[in-house]
Amino acid sequence: MPIIACGINHRTAPVALREKAMFAQDKLALYLHDLMVNESISEAVLLSTCNRSELYCDYDDPDKLVDWFCRQHQLSREELEPAMYIYHQQEAVQHIMRVACGLDSMVLGESQILGQMKEAFSESCAAGTVGTLFNRLFQHVFGVAKDIRHSTAIGACPVSVSSAAVNFLKQTVGDAIQEASVLLLGAGMTMELVLRHLLPHRPKQVAIVNRSLNQAEELAKKYHCPAVQFAQLSQALSDADILLTATGSTLPIVTQSMLCHRRKPVFIIDIAVPRDVEPEAAELPQVNLYSIDDLKAMIQQNKRGREHAADKAEEVIKQRSADYMHWLTSLDLVATTIRAYRNQIETLCDAELAKSLRQLHRGDDPVQVLTSFAYALTKKLLHAPSVQLRQAGSEGRLEILHLAQKLFAIPELTPDA
């Protein structure tokens, strides 16, 4: 049962490539169905976030998976393959565990990825691409993530992309933030986290704009700031000194043309993937545009102090991934043993049956033939186990005798019985 984990992430691919290789959340079932039909994959889970697009599956031809990635996103191998990584068996299991625990995140120890992985697993279950192998694997992974979260300090004082964006903003503009009008584009969890970190810096004004006005109003009411209708985005942009954006749009929302008539400078931090702001907007002299990848240096600085916890987590993952592979190997061994034993029994039965049929064809008494058949087959079935049990008894290996009682469902016997 080969296990493969493959994909791209923030370590191997810039945001310009990651946004091209994202799997749309509302189409995960279609991607998974394509894997089952065209690639003959029976179990698979797809995970796609702003920092990674990964496929976990049971497959023995990773080269074809690269082609599949390219087809889904209309990318060439030359563009995608250098950024792709492929892990096999225990390395794949370890990678999945590291992702779930936040050890492979841009923000070390962040917890949001675990929820995203659980959602991806749920979507894959609904699509029918999770069986015994991956159900056991991901339950094991979620258990490991929970244990590490409680037994190490990996999640202590976590830094998030949202907090890093606000810290980056504060470092860049300084106290000018208190005189700035800030526009927030988006109203999801990421933007709520931005708000939590932004408001203590006391900006002059904060407004929220979102495609769904109800969602924007709900978030705005919670944090006592105004909501803006999406149709008024252009006007809101012209009034803003700072723009922070994080939506789930697959296409840019803020274009170069929407900013080209500005006279005063605007500071933009776009932490969405795919990006919400056209990269060409950075060509305008009055626009200071930063993406999620520009926050990496700050996030790296905040990792200090958690390396020891990360090392402890890596040790746990190494052991728990080995435990899973041991279970997987034993599963294969059990299945192989059962098949071999079944074939052995069927061979004995076929031999005795052929003998009995010959006796019936020559006119022997059917009752005598059936009686002989049952006796001979029973004797042959019992021969090998009886020899092994007698040998185990003579060697004092009582554990084999107890195991045989369980294996053959024999009631526990006393020596006098």
Is the Cβ–Cβ distance between 145 and 194 less than 8 Å? no
68 burial (CB, 10 Å; 0-12 / 13-18 / 19+) is buried
Q: Which amino acid is at 20?
A: K
Q: Angle at Cα 184 formed by Cα 123 and Cα 52, nearest 5°?
A: 35
**Catalytic residue (choose from 6, 50, 70, 225):** 50
Q: What is the DSSP letter of 367?
A: H
Direct distance between the N- and C-terminal alpha carbons of the chain, in angstroms, rounded to an integer: 45
Active site residue 50: yes
Spatial separation of the C-alpha atoms in residues 86 and 206, rounded to whole Å: 44
Tokens read off for 315: 């040790």
| DSSP per residue, 227-275 | EE-GGGHHHHHHH-SEEEE----SS-SB-HHHHTT--S-EEEEE--SS-
Distances in Å between the alpha carbon of 377 and those of 150, 263, 348?
A: 57, 96, 7
Tokens read off for 322: 């080995």
Active site residue ranges: 50
